[in-house]
Amino acid sequence: MQYEVVLPAAGSGKRMGAGQNKLFLYLLGKPILAHTLEVFERDDRCTGIWLAVKPEERAFIERMLVEYGITKVKGLPDGGAERQHSVHSCLKAMEQVSIVLVHDAARPFITHDIIAHLVESAHDYGAAIAGVRAKDTMKKVSNGIIEETVDRESLWMVQTPQAFRFELIVEAEDVAEKVGFLGTDEAMLMERLGHEVRIVESSYENVKITTQEDLVFGEAILHKRAL
């Protein structure tokens, strides 16, 4: 089953503290963004890539596409002040498709298997997101004091990709924009409208490169995969 993917890539990466877009940092000799793009370039089911970019970084990214042989990019619209705005900007630029995936450009280790499960689930149920079970004991804390130990069985840490039937996510994003609601992920916008969102078990390797230590984890994952 085919899909197009939206990759928000217009963040500033403040928590990385690199003084530049963290997606331009290298993991084993290749920029993080190029690693992520290659996953979708090599997935036969992916028929189009939409990248939300900062206008001042567009030319640099276009050169990166050429350098790494990325041919599936259909558009590089301007990103926005928040991630959700960047995603919305891509959705507005797209033609109608059946299934759209939203995936953080900062998660380069997503696999074709997990993508396939998400696409199938979104096709069958409308919305599906990647997640992993919480591993640690979870506490609810208020003002530095534990209020309760939360039952871990029902807790998942969610990731991207988040996959949707196109018309459902467009509606959810449009409504959010109209009422000025800012969610932390796309699933949250769907939940607000009462849509069921399925969870697809993903991998702990599908980390979002956020802080300096994630670069070390990232290179370790690449080394392991090269064995």
Residues forming contacts to ligand C5P in the complex (CB under 6 A) are 8-11, 23, 52, 79-83, 86, 104-106, 208, 210
Report the length, in residues, of the chain. Answer: 227
- Cβ proximity to ligand C5P, 115 vs 126, nearer residue: 115
> Residue 152 forms beta bridges with which residues?
none
Decide if 191 contacts 197 (C-beta within 8 A): yes
Alpha-carbon distances, residue 111 vs 2, 30, 45, 147, 149 (angstroms): 16, 18, 13, 38, 33
Shortest distance, position 16 Cβ to ligand C5P, whole Å: 8
Decide if 103 contacts 87 (C-beta within 8 A): no
- Cβ proximity to ligand C5P, 106 vs 189, nearer residue: 106
Shortest distance, position 183 Cβ to ligand C5P, whole Å: 13
- Cβ proximity to ligand C5P, 82 vs 191, nearer residue: 82
Shortest distance, position 150 Cβ to ligand C5P, whole Å: 23
Token output for 154:
């029902």
> Residue 147 forms beta bridges with which residues?
none
- Cβ proximity to ligand C5P, 203 vs 210, nearer residue: 210
Shortest distance, position 147 Cβ to ligand C5P, whole Å: 27
